[in-house]
Amino acid sequence: MATNHLKSANNIHNIFFNHSFSSMSPKIKVFAGTKSRYMAEEICKDLGLELGKMNITHFADGEFEVSFEESIRGCEVYLVQSTFPNTDNLMELLLMIDAAKRASAAKTIAVIPYFGWARQDRKDKPRVSIAAKLVADLLTAAGVDRVITMDLHADQIQGFFNVPVDHLYASSVFVPYIESLKLDNMVIATPDVGGAKRANSYAKYFDVPLVLCHKQRAKANVVASMTVIGDVKDKNVILVDDMVDTAGTITKAADLMLANGAKSVRALASHAIMSDPASELVDKSGLTEMIFTNSIPYSKGCKKCTIISIARMFADTIRRVHDFQSISSQYVFR
């Protein structure tokens, strides 16, 4: 009799727990680094979630400690942080990943709208570091399970990781904006030959000519000379780049296009690094408009700058990753 009761209890126990585990899926939680909180809040709003509670304690010597203020055990944790300078942003992200791993998160996914240090992706001269590979190694060593990022400076950086990388493209938000301008006689241009592949994708999509700028640098961030390859006379030019730092190249290219007879010149770039005096250079240049995404927070006064949000694109990607759906369908083009 006692044995039968025990068997019945075990059967009920097994049915209950088997049902619970089979219907269970990891809960999504989103957390933000200090400088990317604005982005995480927008992403959470689109996902219909509350931003996760996290605390970053700073010590007198500049060291800091990351702690999650709610349970993340068994959760799919998304950590939103662009790794633009200073290095505190990268260090914050590394500590967030480590803390999530130690708090038994089911998956730890880094959402990095702007992947910093990406310009150092190869040995272009003897005895230099390859910082992009080092950062990828640091993220992997910290325990990241996946990376979601946008418009890497070079596509091959994806291969620096031993975990999946979802590489998004700002063309998803830039193309509708360009279409809304309804420009006639449009040409797509690139401020340097290195961006030819990216600019060519836009030119093919809009079925318009591609114009190249050939530049020679005196040193880093300083352009010595520039030449336009292609016809821009009486054309509305769209300059395409992945990032703008000092704005020396993009403004020089715009002024050169106008000197060669262009009707108007607009520029779009995924990442607004905009180191001083970039904002002043853009305002004083012949550019009609400078268009960025909000992958990096930009608050400096620049009358010609337009900022387009990419939060919805990242929120949709998070949904698709969580539901094991393809993300390639959301690309306008790569």
Query: Can you tell me the distance from the alpha carbon of 221 to that of 278, in angstroms, rounded to the nearest whole number?
Result: 11
> β-strand 289-293 against 305-308: which pairing, if any?
parallel
DSSP string, 237-273: EEEEEEEESSSHHHHHHHHHHHHTT-SEEEEEEEEE-
Helix (H) or strand (E) holding 57: strand 54-58
**CA-based angle 216:217:219, to the nearest 5?**
165
The pLDDT of residue 16 is 40
316: left (phi over 0), alpha (psi -120 to 50) or beta: alpha
Q: Is the dihedral of CA 283, 287, 291, 296 positive or negative?
A: negative
Per residue in 275-299, pLDDT (tens digit) is 999 999 999 999 999 999 999 999 8
What distance, in Å, lies between the first and last C-alpha atoms of the chain?
Answer: 69
The pLDDT of residue 15 is 41
Residues noted as catalytic: 215
Query: Can you tell me the distance from the alpha carbon of 268 to that of 257, in angstroms, rounded to the nearest whole number?
Result: 15
The pLDDT of residue 332 is 75
φ and ψ at residue 147, rounded to 5 degrees: -125, 135
Burial label, 271 (beta-carbon count in 10 A; 0-12, 13-18, 19+): buried
pTM: 0.88
φ and ψ at residue 300, rounded to 5 degrees: -70, 145
Query: Can you tell me the distance from the alpha carbon of 81 to that of 298, in angstroms, rounded to the nearest whole number?
Result: 15
The pLDDT of residue 107 is 97
Task: Write the DSSP symbol of residue 60.
Answer: T
Query: Can you tell me the distance from the alpha carbon of 223 to that of 240, in angstroms, rounded to the nearest whole number?
Result: 17
Question: Peptide bond before 86: cis, by omega within 30 degrees of 0?
Answer: yes
The pLDDT of residue 227 is 85
The pLDDT of residue 18 is 44
Residue ranges of alpha helices (H) inside the chain are: 2-23, 37-47, 88-102, 131-142, 171-181, 196-206, 248-259, 278-284, 311-322
The torsion angle over the Cα atoms of residues 321, 169, 165 and 298, rounded to 10 degrees, is -100
- Residue ranges, the chain, pLDDT below 70: 1-25, 215-225, 334
